[in-house]
Structures are given as C-alpha cells and as structure tokens.
Structure 1
Amino acid sequence: MKKSWLIIILIIIGFGGLYFFSKSHSPQETNSNQASQNTQTPVSSSQYSQNTNPETQNLKADTIEVVHFHATQQCWSCITVGKYALKTIEEKFPDEYANGKIVYKDINVESPENKEIARRYQATGASLYINAIKNGKDFIEEDTTVWRLINSESQYTTYFEGKLKTLLGT
C-alpha cells in the first residue's frame, strides 16, 4: 500500500515539474498588434557594432578577404551566411570585387587542401571571417553578428555593407 502511494506521489511531482518547466520556458505572449510591429524592425548600419577591433577601427585596408568557412554538409543558415556575403559584395562593391580589392573565398574546412587556410584563420566549422590587409599585415576577425541577421536579407546587407565600407575607409 505504501509503495503504491509513493508511486502516485512521484507521478504527481513529475507532472507538476513538467508543467512548471513548460510554463517557465515558453515565449511571452504578446497581443497581435504588438507582435506585428516587432517582426520587421529596420536595422541601421550603426545598430550593430561595425568594428569592435581597436586595431582596425581607423584602418583603410589595401585588400579585404571575406572568407566563408563551412563543412561539406551545410544547413540553411550556413549556406545563407555565405550567400548573403557574396551577394552584398557583388552588388554593393562591384568595382572593388572586380579589381581584387575585396576577395571572397568559400572554404570547406573538411577538405584536406584547405587545412592550412583553416589553421591560419583558426576556423573549425561554419564561420565568416574578414581579413583587412594593410601593408601586408593581416587583421583577421570573425564576424558573428551576421548569424543574427540571416533571417532578414536587407538587414544583413545593410550591416555587412557598412562593415566593409568602414574597413575600406569610405
């Protein structure tokens, strides 16, 4: 008899814990008017830090390498980070892209022939690095902000264009 009461109490505690856990981890409710206002908030190029590396804040790069590292099998996010970066470069910086001032590289970190460049950038998985080269010196920086912007191509483009313009000194 005591054993069955113990089992019932444990079941009740278990369900109570599940209920509490689901309530504490569910998103906050908003009214539909407020939710519709928050879905497409425009981003200015200054909303996200354009350049957090003090060494490159006033740098006018001779060349910029944008390097998209990825695995052989890519998810939608990994593909999109590279796709939007290349599209921004091609559309917003066509002259710089054509003359090699901005270079885009798509690198599979799992390929043996890319081992050295992955080591140089310290890339082990999906990532986007920007190397601002000035007087032959590399200023390599991983850009993690782009991952937060992949759900809005226009916000990604605005941010990334601003970042590249800052590094170009324009």
Structure 2
Amino acid sequence: MNKIVLTLALVFGMTACGNNTAKNSSGTEQQTAQSEKQDRVEVLYFHGKQRCATCMAIEKNAKEAVEAQFEAQLKNGALVFKTIDISKEENEAIADKYEVTWSSLFLVRYQSGKESAEDLTKYAFANARTAPDTFKQGLTEKINGLLD
C-alpha cells in the first residue's frame, strides 16, 4: 500500500514539474559548441516553468554539491553546471537532444570528441529533497568518477 501511495505521489510530482514544450535555441547551441572544444563534465539540470519542492531541491542541492566540492574544476572548465529552463524557446534543441520533457538531471562527459550522458533523474527525485546529504554524496561520487 505504501509503495502505491509513494508511486502515485512521485507520478503527480513529476507531472507537476514538467510537460512543458521546449523551444529552439541558437544561444545554447553556440555555448555548447564553444565548450565542446575541451574535455569536460557537464551537470545539466533541466526544469520547466512550474516547479515543485523536489525540483527546486534538486537544483539547489546539485549546485551546492558542485560548488563545494569542485571549485577548481569549475574555474578551469573541467566541470560545468548548467540550469536549463525547457519552457524557453532557446532551449528546445538541448531538451530534444536529451529527450527531456520535465525536470531532469544529467551528467554529460565529453572526452576526446565523444559524448556520453547519464540520466540521474530518478536518483535525484528519490533523494534531493528527503535525503540531501545522500544526494550530494552520490552526485559527488558520480562526478569524481567521470573526472578521472
């Protein structure tokens, strides 16, 4: 019974967080093209116009973890944190690229001209609001693994 209630709550929360149609972006494409010249890891937090408490916790805690643990990598460009509003027209291309239609968290690694992406959305929704320290630790470990 508890699993059913939790599942329904998660579904309703996710529905409230998204279902916005993204629009096209030449600005984001230019920014992405410029940064693709360097090997790096990107933390991409996608959100829509309306956000629930969990969505806001994902952004807040992901940003806090990245800024606290990876200051040097942020400064030298080895790590990039981006918040992307998929309800804005200029972000349609990147939302389409990752097939994002609601709040999502991705880690993307660019190495030797190749890109690999990991979807951490389920992990983020399960932990960011209710277990922020666990979320931050897990995100930090994932990023460290990609930076090695």
TM-score by length of 1: 0.62
Aligned length in residues: 112
Indicate the residue corresponding to 1:158 in structure 2: 137
Indicate the residue corresponding to 1:69 in structure 2: 46
Indicate the residue corresponding to 2:85 in structure 1: 108
Distance in 1 (CA, whole Å) between partners of 2:113 and 2:67 is 24
Distance in 2 (CA, whole Å) between partners of 1:65 and 1:160 is 12
Aligned-pair CA distance for 1:139: 0.3
Indicate the residue corresponding to 2:57 in structure 1: 80
Structure exhibiting the larger radius of gyration computed from Cα positions: 1
Residue-by-residue CA offset, 1:108-146 (whole Å, 9 max, x unaligned):
111111001111111111100110111121101211212
Runs (4+) of structure 1 exceeding 3 A deviation are: none
Indicate the residue corresponding to 1:96 in structure 2: 73
Aligned-pair CA distance for 1:62: 2.7
Indicate the residue corresponding to 1:19 in structure 2: none
Q: Which amino acid aligns with 1:140?
A: A
For the residue of structure 2 that corresponds to 1:118, the secondary structure is helix
Indicate the residue corresponding to 1:125 in structure 2: 102
Aligned-pair CA distance for 1:72: 0.7
Label 1:168 to 1:71 Cα distance change in 2 as closer, same or farther (>3 A): same
Q: Which amino acid aligns with 1:118?
A: A
Label 1:93 to 1:123 Cα distance change in 2 as closer, same or farther (>3 A): same
Aligned-pair CA distance for 1:73: 1.1
For the residue of structure 1 that corresponds to 2:110, the secondary structure is strand
Runs of 5+ unmatched residues, structure 2: 4-37
Runs of 5+ unmatched residues, structure 1: 1-24, 28-60
Distance in 1 (CA, whole Å) between partners of 2:91 and 2:97 is 10
Q: Which amino acid aligns with 1:130?
A: L
Distance in 2 (CA, whole Å) between partners of 1:75 and 1:142 is 19
Q: Which amino acid aligns with 2:55?
A: C
Distance in 1 (CA, whole Å) between partners of 2:80 and 2:135 is 18
Indicate the residue corresponding to 1:148 in structure 2: 126
Distance in 2 (CA, whole Å) between partners of 1:159 and 1:26 is 25
Distance in 1 (CA, whole Å) between partners of 2:58 and 2:106 is 11
